[in-house]
Copies of this chain bind each other. A is one copy, B any other.
Amino acid sequence: MKMNVPRAFHFLAILLLSTLCAVASPARLSDYIRPFVGAQGEGNTFPGPSAPFGMIQLSPDTDTTNWDTDSGYEYTDPTIQGFSLTHLSGTGCPDLGDFLFVPQVGEPALVAGTKDHPESGYQSAFTHDDESAAAGYYQVKLQKSGVNIELAAGERAGFLRFTFPASDAASILTDLSHIINGGRWRVAESRLRIEDGSTITGFHLVNGWAKERYLYFAARYSRPFDEARIISNGKPVTYQSYVNYRFRSHNEAAGTNLQFLARFKTGAGEVIQVKVAVSAVSAANALQNLDAEIPDWNFDRLREVTRTKWDRELASIQMEGSQEQKETFYTSLYHALLVPNLYQDSNGQYRGFDQNIHQAGKATEYTVFSLWDTFRAEHPLLALIQAQRDSDMINTLLDHYQQSADHLLPMWELQGNETWCMIGYHGVPVIVDGYLKGVKGFDAQRAYEAIKRTAMNPDYDGLAAYRILGWVPCDQEDESLSKTLEYAYDDWCIAQMAKALGKPADCGYFLKRAANYKNVYDSDLGWMRPKDASGNWRTNFDAHLFNGGTNLQDVTEATSSQYSWFVPQDVPGLIALMGGPEKFTAKLDSLFNATQSDLFKKEMSTNDLRGCIGEYWHGNEPSHHVIYLYSLAGQPWKAAERLHQVVSTQYGSGPNSLCGNDDCGQMSAWYLFTCLGFYPVCPASDYYVIGAPQIPRAAMHLSNGKTFTMTAANLSDRNIYVQSVKLNGKDWNSPLLPYRELKHGGTIAFIMGAQPSQWGTQIH
């Protein structure tokens, strides 16, 4: 079925819709943000306030030692320990949670205590009835003390506002030994200093996921301390005689277990505010960041400034839909725009990958690069709507390449540290996709040098053998199957950059490497399979079990049945390898329709299983492009069904809506693209893959000033199938949405229907 709408009418419709939109929608997009989304279960987000890509993230911590509560907050926990200044958003590994602030009334506890017995420490019971969160704002009333806490965050500085009951013994404890440690990390050193009667600074050095992480803070209190004490190992640091390690100062201390206790006599409803800021460089810079950003005591002003920033950033995609859809969509966009985080001080200094202090150049430095996740959809999204920041992030990657001991692009960067987490060299697709999508402001030659040197490093993760053999041998290297597949994709990206820069020899070389995926496809088994250096397949390998069921680390967080689809650079080649479109789609069907074996279930947590459809696991990134392969294999209606299923069951506006780690925005970015009806199956390529839109209309304001609009006529919970597509007014039967059709702005107009159609069934 074809619709033929006159072009002029089409534009008029858009104009009309926009106007209606402006009238119908509430004044502010930030009102749709639901910070608790993902705060329950595997989502691992934090509910506290943050500015877009901000350096500071104030948020309550309910747990520090549970490995799976990586943001410090689990929605089902009954207690809150306190409010710390930094948090990871959606990672699968815990860290941060620096500098916990804890208001108390009565004799202050100095240890956290337990959830079951909050009276054993400073943590307090709370209920969600007494809790609220919004863009740049969080509030909770603690049951133990009756103190109401409000949090607001700017770029590098934030506010804690405490409303105390009347008390002779009100206090605010700052615990430097608190970190979200998953039971493993340690504070190697810390320092506290009372700068004056209402100001402190401090520091800790944490051996954590980031192996050597320095963070400093400064805090100014709205009223002078009635009493101020530094506490070391539970004892006040005071002038002491007869000791060998003599503290002579009340005003400063160093150690591994330091706390600061400010005591106050408070009247009923008395508000005490604390302004805080962080720096990775020095206490002096933290203080400078604080004073530069918050010169006054106006909590509400800071909250409003940050909320306005969110309004502005969220406006980059204006969409229509139900209240639930709007909340889900804008919260997803919120999560996509939280990370990477600003990582340079107001004076331009930052701590480099070499732990030296550098002065930033023209570009702004960022941190928290969860690249194995974010190269997929998060960075492709940023390349479209946050080009300036994406450029800064690419420059950060290049600075890290230059500063790293191994002259490698970062793998999983965290506050100036390489965590060596996950696999691949996925800085490459981030850079190349940015470069080919018109992200300017970085030196392409310098970028290419970084890319190539990274991909040629003989010491890196099996690369030497990969270069000789064409695959990473499973008898020499962990995660060899996944590495082979991902290296091949990254190599293809390099070839694209080499081509663009006029380096045909390099292009040819890396294109050859890009075909290496074929070397690990076992046509007898019908799945990708680990291979040793002699060319023998891994024995006793079951493609439907984690790591092939061998207990060897061949596959990264996945089964081969999940990983075998990772050939985004050559889907036709993969289809051919798997026996043509029919066998290919049948195999895809088998993934979604598989009965999960007991062993499969055993490897997954209950939450993980929520993210599964058969053996398809939306909760982790290797699956993220898989549904779109239906589109590329001529069965777009199956993509439509699965996309609708995932969007309906694995996203939403409640705390428990994310069934997998948000992974610094990747899970959310998948949702955003999917709603818009297309997805970057192969970042660094010149096309997106059309799926099926999930919202009736959206206008994406590209960073180049153009607007690309999507409309999905007739869309409903039943009308999930694409019937026809018009792209910039032309009939469009291809599943590919070329970047060139999007970059100048324009329109993609879907007509949706309740039945599969012939649209897109012809393979191009």
Residue in B241, B357, B405 whose beta carbon sits within 8 Å of that of A357 in the complex: B357
Interface assignment of A355: CB less than 8 Å from any CB of chain B: yes
B191 touches A189 (CB 8 A): no
A265 proximal to B (CB < 8 A): no
Among residues of B, the one whose C-beta sits closest to the C-beta of A408 is B249
The reply to whether B246 and A284 form a contact with Cβ atoms under 8 Å apart is: no
Tell whether A297 is near chain B: CB-to-CB under 8 Å. Answer: no
**CA gap between A241 and B552 in the complex, in Å:** 11
Interface string of A37-53 (1 = CB under 8 A from B): 00000000000000000
| CB-based contact B254/A211 at 8 Å | yes
Known interface pairs A355-B283, A477-B241. Does A247 touch B207 (Cβ–Cβ under 8 Å)?
A: no
- Distance A85 CA – B354 CA, assembled complex (angstroms): 22
Q: Is A739 an interface residue (CB 8 A)?
A: no
Residues of chain B with a CB closer than 8 A to A252's CB:
405-406
Q: Is the C-beta of A251 less than 8 angstroms from some C-beta in chain B?
A: yes
Bound Cα distance from A217 to B246, whole angstroms: 29
Q: How far is it, in angstroms, between the C-alpha of A256 and the C-alpha of B194 when the chains are bound?
A: 29
Q: Answer whether A189 and B203 are a contact pair too, CB < 8 Å, given A283-B355, A553-B242.
A: no
Q: 1/0 per residue A223-260: CB within 8 Å of B?
A: 00000000000000001011011111111101010000
Q: Within A411-437, which residues are at the interface with B (CB < 8 Å)?
A: 411, 418, 420-421
- Are A248 and B461 closer than 8 Å at their CB atoms? yes
CB distance from A211 to the nearest CB of B (A): 5
Contacts of A244 in B (CB 8 A): 184
Q: How far is the CA of A239 from the CA of B478 in the complex (A)?
A: 11
List A residues 328-366 near B (Cβ within 8 Å).
354-357
- For chain A, give the interface size range: 35 or more
Contact, CB under 8 Å: A406 / B249: yes
Contact partners of A188 in chain B: CB under 8 A: 188-189, 205, 256
A174-198, CB < 8 A from B? 184, 188-189, 191, 193-195
| Residue of B whose beta carbon sits closest to that of A241 | B478
Complex: how many Å from CA A241 to CA B553? 9
Q: Please state if A212 and B241 are interface contacts (CB–CB under 8 Å).
A: no
Task: Tell yes or no: A282 within 8 A of B by CB.
Answer: yes
Whether A355 contacts B191 by the Cβ 8 Å rule is yes
Contact partner of A254 among B212, B248, B251, B478, CB < 8 A? Answer: B212
Q: Which residues of A from 615 to 631 have beta carbons under 8 Å from B?
A: none
The minimal Cβ–Cβ distance linking A234 to chain B, given in whole angstroms, is 18
Q: Are A251 and B553 in contact (CB under 8 A)?
A: no
A459 interfacial by beta-carbon distance below 8 Å: yes
B203 contacts A205, CB within 8 Å?
A: no
A461 CA / B247 CA spacing, docked (Å): 11
Within 8 A of B (CB), among A12-56: none
CA A478 to CA B248, docked complex, whole Å: 12
A460 at interface (Cβ–Cβ under 8 A)? yes
- In whole angstroms, how far apart are the Cα atoms of A254 and B357 in the complex? 17
Q: Which chain B residue lies CB-closest to A478?
A: B241
A254 and B459 form a contact (CB under 8 A): no
| Residue ID in chain B nearest A411 by CB atoms | B248
User: How many copies of this chain are found per oligomer?
Assistant: 2
Complex Cα gap A30–B207 (Å): 48
User: A405: which B residues are within 8 A, CB to CB?
Assistant: 193-195, 249, 251-252
Please, how many angstroms separate the alpha-carbon atoms of A184 and B244 in the complex? Answer: 10
* Complex CA–CA separation, A242 to B355 (angstroms): 27
Q: Which chain B positions have C-beta within 8 A of A248?
A: 411, 418, 420, 460-461
Chain B residues positioned under 8 Å from A460 (CB to CB): 248
A376 to chain B, nearest CB (A): 22
- Chain B contacts of A355 at CB under 8 A? 191, 203, 282-283
- Contacting pair B356 A282 (CB below 8 A): yes
Complex Cα distance A207/B187, Å?
Answer: 14
> How far apart are the CA atoms of A716 and B357 in the complex, in Å?
61
Q: Which residue of B has the minimal Cβ distance to A188?
A: B189
A420 touches B282 (CB 8 A): no
Chain B residues positioned under 8 Å from A477 (CB to CB)? 241
- Chain B residues lying within 8 Å of A256, measured Cβ to Cβ, are 188
- 8 A Cβ contacts from A442-464 to B: 459-461
Q: Which of B189, B245, B254 is the one whose CB lies under 8 Å from A189?
A: B189
Asked if B553 and A354 sit within 8 Å, CB to CB, the answer is no
**Cβ-closest chain B residue relative to A353:** B252
The residue of chain B having its C-beta at the shortest distance from the C-beta of A419 within the complex is B246
CA of A65 to CA of B2, assembled, Å? 88
Could you tell me the distance between the alpha carbons of A191 and B214 in the complex, rounded to whole angstroms?
A: 13
Which residue of chain B lies nearest to A244 when distances are taken between CB atoms in the complex? B184
Are A478 and B284 closer than 8 Å at their CB atoms?
Answer: no
Contact of A207 (CB < 8 Å), options: B189, B478, B553? B189
Residue contacts A-B, CB under 8 angstroms, 19 given:
A188-B256, A189-B207, A191-B212, A193-B405, A203-B355, A207-B254, A211-B254, A239-B459, A241-B553, A242-B478, A246-B420, A248-B418, A248-B460, A249-B420, A251-B405, A252-B405, A282-B356, A284-B354, A357-B357
Q: Which 9 A-B pairs have the closest CB atoms?
A: A252-B405, A251-B405, A248-B420, A284-B356, A212-B254, A241-B478, A246-B420, A188-B189, A282-B356
Using a CB–CB distance below 8 Å, which chain A residues touch chain B? 184, 188-189, 191, 193-195, 203, 205, 207, 211-212, 239, 241-242, 244-252, 254, 256, 282-284, 354-357, 405-406, 411, 418, 420-421, 459-461, 477-478, 553
| A-B contacts besides A191-B212, A203-B355, A249-B418, 4 pairs, CB < 8 Å | A241-B477, A248-B418, A283-B356, A357-B357
